[in-house]
Amino acid sequence: MGKPYKLLALDMDGTLLNEKSEISDANERWIREAIDAGIAVCFATGRGYASALPFAQRLALTSPMVLVNGGEVWASPDRLHSRETMPAEDIVSLRDIALRYDTWYWGYSVDRVFNKNDWLEDPFSTEWLKFGFFTEDEAALAAVAADVLALPRPFETTNSHPNNLELNPLGVSKASGLRQVCAMLGCDMREVVACGDSLNDAAMIREAGLGVAMGNAQDAVKRIADAVTLTNEEDGVAHVIRTYLL
């Protein structure tokens, strides 16, 4: 009797990709094996469309993609399904906090990523999906988190690295994106294997039928996962496919 899983949801950085931001030969081979066996493979990443697309093309994926931590769901690599935007006034408030504590910061618009070095003169001239802070100063990061919490509108707050903080509209997560993917594919979250390494993967790891933390995952992610695999440098995704899917 085959395994009950129909969808493999993969975070990219720290999960599918190695530290050189490459898909290893082993990961590519086993992803193709999974697809040949009828399993849908879906990116579920904090990356935006422009930086995720080349990897989807490399793997010849035609399946849905969950991007920007769930801010966008693509029905296929060439068709947008849904988009959850953030009010520009929130982006202004978040940037003010970044300036207050002198952190690196960035914002994902629907068109491109803006950061501290090339910020948009008029933030109201575009639509926004996500905002992020980065600092190696733990006290500053804690202060940023406290100030974000004090803003009038609450956010979905996660990270993609221990030294950063990522904000999406409340309720928007990789899990909310994957629920839409399941609806499109005619399966449910119990039939999903989800792999990740950071707090922005936690919601989908909790909700998936099998939530897998990478060997290099943050400890908080390992604690909530159903299983822990090898690291992203050890072809952990290939190991998951061999162990749980095929």
Distance separating alpha carbons of residues 176 and 185, to the nearest angstrom: 15
Distance separating alpha carbons of residues 214 and 231, to the nearest angstrom: 5
Question: pLDDT digit string (tens) for 104-157?
Answer: 999 999 999 999 999 999 999 999 999 999 999 999 999 999 999 999 999 999
Q: What is the pTM of this model?
A: 0.96
What does the block give as tokens for 178? 């994957």
Q: Report the mean per-residue pLDDT for the chain.
A: 97
Catalytic residue among 11, 197, 201, 235: 11
Q: What is the 3-state secondary structure (H, E, C) of 55-111?
A: HHHHCCCCCCEEEHHHCEEEEECCEEEEECCECHHHHHHHHHHHHHCCCEEEEEECC
Structural domains in the chain, CATH included, are 7-80+173-245 (3.40.50.1000), 88-169 (3.30.1240.10)
**pLDDT tier at 3, thresholds 50, 70, 90:** low
pLDDT score of 1 more than 80 = no
Contacts of 28 (CB under 8 A, 6+ apart): 58, 59
Q: State the pLDDT at residue 4.
A: 87
DSSP structural state of residue 244: I
Query: Which residue in the block uniquely carries the two structure tokens 């119990």?
Result: 190
Question: pLDDT digit string (tens) for 182-214?
Answer: 999 999 999 999 999 999 999 999 999 999 999
Beta-carbon-side half-sphere exposure of residue 145 (alpha carbons within 13 Å): 17
| 11 given a catalytic annotation | yes
